[in-house]
Chains A and B, each alone.
Chain A
Amino acid sequence: MPMTDNSAGKTGAAPEGVRARDRLALLTADNAAVPLPTGVQAITAILLAVLLIALPWLGLGYRFLSIAITTLYTAIGLYGLGLQFGQAGIMSVGHAALMGVGAYASAILSVQLGLGFWTSLPFAMALSAIVGGVIGLPTLRVGGQHYIIITFCFCALFVIVLTNGGTFTGSATGLDVGSVTPLPGINFDKLSNNYYLVLAALFLALAATYLIGISRYGRTLRAIRENEQLARSVGINVDLHKLGVLMVSGLFAGLAGVLQLYYLRHISPTLFGAFPSLYLALMVMLGGARYLYGPLIGAVVVNFLPEVLNLDPVDSRIAYGVCLLLVILLLPGGVGAGIKNVYCAVRGGFEKQGGGTNGRA
């Protein structure tokens, strides 16, 4: 399940001469973990895919499916945040604003030029990526905490600009769009079809995250995360890599924003303000940014918990804050790390019984 471990194992097994940067990646990989067999990974992935695809047929009702859609498009945005935080170690607390850039770009294109979902999507994603990169420029100069504050400022500024933007941005009331342009034979007005649209995008995001995680690029990012100076000294272009991951993260955010826009059909500035941004940051911490399914777990927990516990909004937010404190204090790696530890402990236990090597959690 964790995407960081196997990649290091593969590099270690690679017969060709290990270059300096690979050696750095090896050094910096999460070496405390037991490498999971790919078979388990594949089974987990298939089970998850089957579950997600079968969800609309389980007869759980309209409300459940609505929350599921919200969860999924949030998770897509979270995968971007997970990449930049989990892989490169750059946290942002203005990520909802980046989703807002995509959503508003798409909505404005729709209102001003009449572009539909499919035609505005590439522009919206590109704009989000560019904005993500531009906000990221200061992080090359200043430390991580300063970048966090800059993202927060950006988020607050974004809302002020939208609110004061007149008819162009729809001011405080926001903008409306039509429904997703139907593909031949598929009408996205139906909720389950909308669900599959978002689900397809989530699978894309998952696949992209996995591929980045096991690629040389992902390893380089982790090397930068672990020791930026060392990475720089072995000749890695740290600035370029950081900007790159921030732009990829922006792409994800743009995609999530457009999906959110066309699911809600109406957007207003408060959807992309400080609170949603903080929630995104909390979700990614809660789930565990370094694990492939971490962001998804975070999104599911946060979106479904109030529903399951049947709390009113005030209580659910208090419960949420308490959960967050507990996770940070007890499970600093998020729920994903917790699940992995349990898995490794169980597996280690089995191996000990079978007289195998010790698998330490």
Chain B
Amino acid sequence: MDIFVQQLVNSLSVASVTILIGIGITLIFGLAGIVNFAHGEFLMVGGMATWFMVGAGMNFFVALVLAGLLVGALGFAAERCLFRFTLNRPMNGFIMSIGLSVILQHAVIRVFNEFQKSITDPVGLVWTIGGVDIIAMRAIVVAVTAVIVAITYFGISRSRYGMALRASVSDRDTAELMGIPVRRYVTGVFIYGSLLAGIGGALMISLFPITPFTGSVIIIRGFAVSLIGGLGNVGGAVVGGLVLGLVDGLSAGYGYPEWTDAYSLVVMILILVLRPQGLLGGTLGPKAS
């Protein structure tokens, strides 16, 4: 039982990173209408930046914030220089994002190298609660994710900015007529999603080592999470992330670990075929194709 609880806590921290990337994708894909395949690379860049800054003697939590800002700036640049021109042709944007992901991946290899990087546990505490050992850093990861989820959820569903954003998704022209600067909102969503990817990367490297190729693995899980929950649906991304994280974490402990990656793929294909709008419902993605 103790082992089960420990597995559960560990799975929860893994799920947190998945949720962060899933929320980023669900917002960018579902609300801004951009299929950004380089989102996983954004996360990887965030992790690498954190590794570099911590290696240079910086406090982990300062590095986390800086990594988030750095990747947010990266997202801003990508949106302004690349995706802005393909808003009406999402397919071209998608292909371009593949190119961007190849560039980022190999640029990181060129700057550092292709070996895996890790940092020592920045907190280094272990709490024992009722006979269960909980690594403090993992709890912090879960807490940070919970705060971000709450902010995002209320921002999208309650604030007037979130309302304007949802209005511009459901009817772009009318929203523009009502004076909503739709383009600026697209940029804003893209930057916010990228920022989350940067923070996710920083949190990820505090849990496990990452390589320049981590992004291309995690991106699939991100898409799985956002599609399972329903595009543009923050709550859905949380549910999707939890389902996927728990399945993964528990299968690593109890099932067939060599098939771990296959589970998320099978779940995603089934959801896409049977319920394209996701479990909790969402937008069907960009309308123009």
CB atoms of B289 and A150 under 8 A apart: no
A273-293 CB contacts (< 8 Å) to partner B:
274, 278, 281-282, 285
The answer to whether B272 and A146 touch across the interface, beta carbons within 8 angstroms, is: yes
> Cα distance A281–B95 when bound, in Å?
8
For B272, the chain A residues whose CB sits under 8 A away are: 138, 142, 146, 149-150, 153
Total A-B residue contacts, Cβ distance less than 8 Å: 113
Selected from B86, B98, B103, B223, the residue in CB contact (under 8 A) with A318 is B103
Q: Give a binary string over A299-317; 1 marks a CB under 8 Å from any B CB, 0 the rest.
A: 0000000000000001101
**0/1 interface trace, chain B 69-105, chain A, CB 8 Å (1 if under):** 0000000000000100110011110111011111101
Contacts of B103 in A (CB 8 A): 317-318, 321-322, 325
Q: How far is the CA of A128 from the CA of B77 in the complex (A)?
A: 41
B98 contacts which chain A residues (CB < 8 A)? Answer: 93, 278, 281-282, 324
- Kindly provide the distance from the CB of B210 to the nearest chain A CB, expressed in whole angstroms: 18
B96 lies within 8 A of A328 (CB): yes
Output the least CB separation between B257 and chain A (Å).
11
A116-148 CB contacts (< 8 Å) to partner B: 137-138, 141-146, 148
Which segment, of B52-60, B187-195, B262-270, faces chain A? B262-270
B259 touches A328 (CB 8 A): no
Partner of B262, one of A144, A160, A314, A320: A160
Q: Are B106 and A146 in contact, with the CB atoms below 8 A?
A: no
**Known contacts A315-B110, A328-B86: does B262 contact A157 (CB below 8 Å)?**
yes
**Size bin of chain A's contact surface:** 35 or more
**Given the complex, which residues of A lie within 8 Å of B286, measured CB to CB?**
145
Which of A153, A318, A320 makes the CB contact (< 8 A) with B268? Answer: A153
With A and B bound together, what is the CA distance between A285 and B15 in angstroms?
35
Query: A residues within 8 A CB of B110?
Result: 314-315, 318
Verify if B258 is at the interface (C-beta below 8 Å from A).
yes
User: Contacts of B180 on A, CB cut-off 8 Å?
Assistant: none
A154: CB under 8 A from chain B?
yes
B91: chain A residues at CB < 8 Å are 91, 144-145
A325 & B285 in contact (Cβ 8 Å cutoff): no
With both beta carbons as reference points, the residue of chain A lying nearest to B212 in the complex is identified as: A314
> Which B residues contact A (CB, under 8 angstroms)?
35, 82, 85-86, 89-92, 94-96, 98-103, 105-107, 109-110, 216, 220, 223, 227, 258-259, 261-262, 265-266, 268-269, 272-273, 276, 284-286, 289
CB-CB nearest 10 A-B residue pairs: A324-B99, A321-B103, A321-B102, A321-B99, A142-B276, A153-B265, A138-B273, A317-B106, A144-B289, A328-B96
